[in-house]
Structure 1
Amino acid sequence: MQRNSLGQGIGRLIAIAVAAAMLLMTASAQALEKIRLGKSVPHPFTFTPAEIGTETGIWKKHGLEIEVFGYGGDAKMQQGLASNAIDMSLGSGPGMGFMAKGIPAKAVAAFADAPLSMGLIIGSKSPVKKLADLKGAKIGVSTNASLTYWLTRELSRRQGWGPDGIQTVPLGRLPGNIAAMKRGQVDGFVMSASVGYRLEKTGDAHVLLSFGDFIKDFHTHVVFATNKMIAERPDQIRAFLKAWIEVIEFMRKNKDETLRISSKITKLPPDLASREYDAIMPMMTTDLKFDAPAVKTLLKSFVELGILPTEPDPKVLYTEEFIPASR
C-alpha cells in the first residue's frame, strides 16, 4: 500500500511538473509580440537580418516574433503599409517619398548607407559595353519610385542626360528582369550586384558598374513603421530596433554563421556569398540615425527626378524617436 501510494505521489508530481512546463511554454509564447515585417524585395543580403534574428534567437530575446512578407518592389510594399497588411518594413531611402504622397507610415531608422550592394547588370547580348553607351538604353527596375528606379535616373542625371536619359522599365521581381533581359526587351537591370556575379558565371550578363562608386551621401535602406504601429505599439518599434542592432553586430562577428543562414535566402553559392558579405557589411550601420547630407540628397532628388513637385518637409518622412541611445 505504501509503495502504491508512493507511486501515485510521484505520478502526481510528474503530472504537475509537466503541466507547469506547458504553462511556462504557453506563457513564453504569449509573451512574444508578433511584428509583420515586409521586404520590398525578398532575397537581398541586406534584408537577411530578419531571418538571422529569428534563427539566432535574437528577436525572441527581445520579446518579438517576426513574420516576413516579400514584395515585388517599394511601390507594392508601400501598398502593404497603407492597408496595414504589415506593421513594419525594410525598404529604400527613396521610398520615403511615398510618405509625402500620403502613405500612413514613417521611416524610423536608416540601416544602410552608400549603395555598395547595388549593381547595374548588363546582358551579354546588349550593345551596351561602357558607361557612355547607357544613354537611351532600356534598364529594368522593380517598380517606379523604387530604389532601382531612383538609382537609374540619378545616374542618368549625373551623366548630364537628364533623369530620362536612361529609360526605366518596371519589371517587378528578379525573374521578370532576367527574362526580359534574355529576350532583349531591356539591355539590363538594376539589382544586388551578387545577382550579376551569378549571371557572369553562366555567361548571361556582367556587372557594368557599382552604384556605390557614384553615390556617397545616401540612405540605401531604411526601416518603415505604419502610423498605427507608431501610435499603438511604440515599445515594440524600440525593441525591434534594439534587436536589429544586435543582429548586425552578430553578423559582423560571425561571418561563417551569417553566410550559413543568409544563403538560404539569397541562394548564392559559397564563393559569391562570401564576396557579397565583404562588399556589403561596411554599408550596414548600427547607428540607425538619419544623416543630414544623405537626407538632403534624397529631398533634392525627389524634385530633380520628378518623383515630387517640391521638396517635402523631412518631418513627414521620418522620425528618430525610436532609435536606441548610443551605447
Structure 2
Amino acid sequence: MIADKNILPNKQFIKGDDFMNRRFWKQFAIALALFLAGYFTFNSKAFSQTVEKPKVSIAVGGKNLFYYLPLTIAEQLGYFKEEGLQVEISDFAGGAKALQALVGGSADVVSGAYEHTINMQAKGQPITAFVLQGRAPQIVLGVSNKTMPNYKSVADLKGKKIGVTAPGSSTNMMANFVLAKAGLKPSDVSFIGVGASAGALSALRSGQIDAISNLDPVITMLQQKNEIKVVADTRTLKDTNEVFGGPMPAATLYASEAFLKKNPNTAQALTNAMVRALKWIQKAGPSDIIKVVPESYLLGDRALYIEAFMKVREAMSPDGMFPEAGPRTALKALQAFEPDLAGKSIDLSKTFTNEMVKKANAKYH
C-alpha cells in the first residue's frame, strides 16, 4: 500500500509536468506567431512605403541620345529593379511628345528637358524636375553644306527649313534662342520634326531640311563627313555659357506635383537609381558604355559613338544636383523668344527640387 501511495503522487507529478510542457510550447508558439506576424507586417509596410507605385511608366523623346544616357544606364544595369521598381520606358520622337504623354496620363514621369517645367507652370499645369541628368544641353545647331554652301550668319536662316527632334522640344527651343539672338522670330523659319536617329540623318542628306538642331551621336556623324557647319554648340560647359550666358540645366526626370506628393518614396527610388547611374558614368570608360547600351544606339559605328561620347562626357551631371543659377538662365532663354512667357510670374523654386538628390547622394556617395 505504501508503495502504491508513493507511486500515485509520482504519476500525478509526471502528468502535471507533461501538462506544463505542453502549455509552455503552446504559449511559445503563439508568441512566435504574433512576433512573426508583426515582423512581416512591419516589413511589408516599410516595403510599401518605398514603392507606393511599383510599376512606373517613363516617357522619353529620343532614348538613344547621349542626352538621356543616364536613363539607359540605370535601366540596363538594373538600378531601377534594385530600388524595387518595375520601370517601363516609352520612346517618342522628341521631348514635346513625351510631355504630351505625361499630360495625357499615359506616363507617370518624363525624362526630358528642364525648360518644360517653366512652360507648363506658365500654362497652369505645374510639373517639377527632381533629378538632373545633364548640366549642359548637348544640342548643336548646324547648317547643311549641301543646301546652304554659302552660309555666312544666322540671318541666312530666314525662310529656311530647320529639322528638330520634334516641334516644341528642347532642340526646337535651343534653335529659337539662337535665332532670337540674331533678331529672328520662330515664325521666320519652318521647323520640321525629324526624330533623333536615322530619320534625322536622311532628312539632312536628302535636302529636306537646310539646318538641323539635334544631339549626339547624330551631330558627330554629320560632322565626321563634313555635312554640316556648326552654328551653335552646347556640348561643353564653356560653349553652353557662351550660348546661354550661364549654366543651363538639360535633361531631367520630371513629374506632376500631384504624382510627387502621392508617391514620394517612389520618386526617391527613381532618384536613387539615376544618381547611381550618373556616378557610374563618371567612372566608366568608353568601352564600358558600349558594353551597356543597346547595339542599335551605336548607329553602326562604334568608333564614332566613342568619339561622340568623349565630346559630351563633361555635359553629364556628376551628382544630379540642379545648379543654383541654372533655372534663371533657362527662364531668361525662354523669355527671349516666347512673348507670352515674358509677362508671366514664374516661381522657379517650384520647377525643381534638390531634396531627393541630396538623399540619394548620401546613400550612394
Which residue does 1:8 correspond to in 2? none
Indicate yes or no: 2:105 matched with 1:87.
no
Asked if the contact 1:152–1:166 (Cα under 8 Å) also holds between the matched residues in 2, the reply is: no
Q: How do 1:63-212 residues align onto structure 2 when only pairs under 5 Å count?
A: 63-96=84-117, 97-103=119-125, 105-115=127-137, 117-128=138-149, 130=151, 132=153, 134-136=156-158, 137-158=160-181, 160-164=182-186, 167-174=189-196, 175-201=198-224, 204-205=227-228, 207-212=230-235
279 and 298 in structure 1: CA distance in 2 versus 1, 3 angstrom threshold:
same
* SS of equivalent to 1:77: helix
Which residue does 1:267 correspond to in 2? 298
Which residue does 1:52 correspond to in 2? 73
Return the TM-score normalized by structure 1. Answer: 0.79
Return the TM-score normalized by structure 2. Answer: 0.72
Amino acid at match of 2:211: G
Which residue does 1:40 correspond to in 2? 61
Cα distance, 1:93 vs structure 2? 2.1
Asked if the contact 2:143–2:231 (Cα under 8 Å) also holds between the matched residues in 1, the reply is: yes
Quote the RMSD (CA, aligned, Å). Answer: 2.8
Q: Which moved more, 1:73-82 or 1:317-326?
A: 317-326
2:343 to 287, 290, 310: 310
Asked if the contact 2:177–2:334 (Cα under 8 Å) also holds between the matched residues in 1, the reply is: no
1:291 to 317, 323, 341: 323
2:266 to 232, 236, 240: 236
**Rg comparison, structure with higher value:** 2
Deviations 1:248-293 (A, max 9, x none): 1112222222222225352242211211221222121143233232
CA distance in 2, matches of 1:275, 1:202: 14
Cα distance, 1:186 vs structure 2? 2.1
Cα distance, 1:68 vs structure 2? 0.8
Gaps of 5+ in 2: 1-43
Deviations 1:37-67 (A, max 9, x none): 1112232123133332233222222222221
CA distance in 2, matches of 1:89, 1:223: 6
Cα distance, 1:245 vs structure 2? 1.0
Residues matched between the structures, number: 297
1:227 to 257, 267, 272: 257
Asked if the contact 1:121–1:193 (Cα under 8 Å) also holds between the matched residues in 2, the reply is: no
Cα distance, 1:84 vs structure 2? 2.1
